[in-house]
Amino acid sequence: MTNQTNTNLGATRRISLMVLSLGMIAVTLATQGPLGWKVIFPLLAIYPGIIALTGWDLVYAFVTPVRNRVSGTGTPIRVGI
């Protein structure tokens, strides 16, 4: 069996996204009194949390080939795994 990893993010970015996600949840949990607009933080924390766990950013995977194609560098557009 081969041990293949299919990620498009490095370890530093994955760790920083996980810290961001956990920080957004921690701010909500540490708030005393009315939450107000801080209620949205746990919902916003889902996207960076999933990206950090999987190591695959769909937006980055789509934008990078398109940006390379527009700038004239890289290979033809191939989006996906």
74 is written with which tokens?
A: 């890289």
In a structure prediction context, what are the per-residue pLDDT tens digits for the chain, which is 81 residues long?
455 567 788 889 999 999 999 999 999 999 998 989 889 999 999 999 999 999 888 888 888 777 777 777 665 555 555
Phi, psi of 54 (to 5 degrees): -90, -30
pTM score of the predicted model: 0.72
Residue-level pLDDT at 57: 87
How open is the CA angle 12-19-33, to the nearest 5 degrees? Answer: 165
pLDDT for 1 equals: 46
* Residue 71 identity (one-letter amino acid): S
Give the pLDDT confidence score for residue 5 in this predicted structure: 62
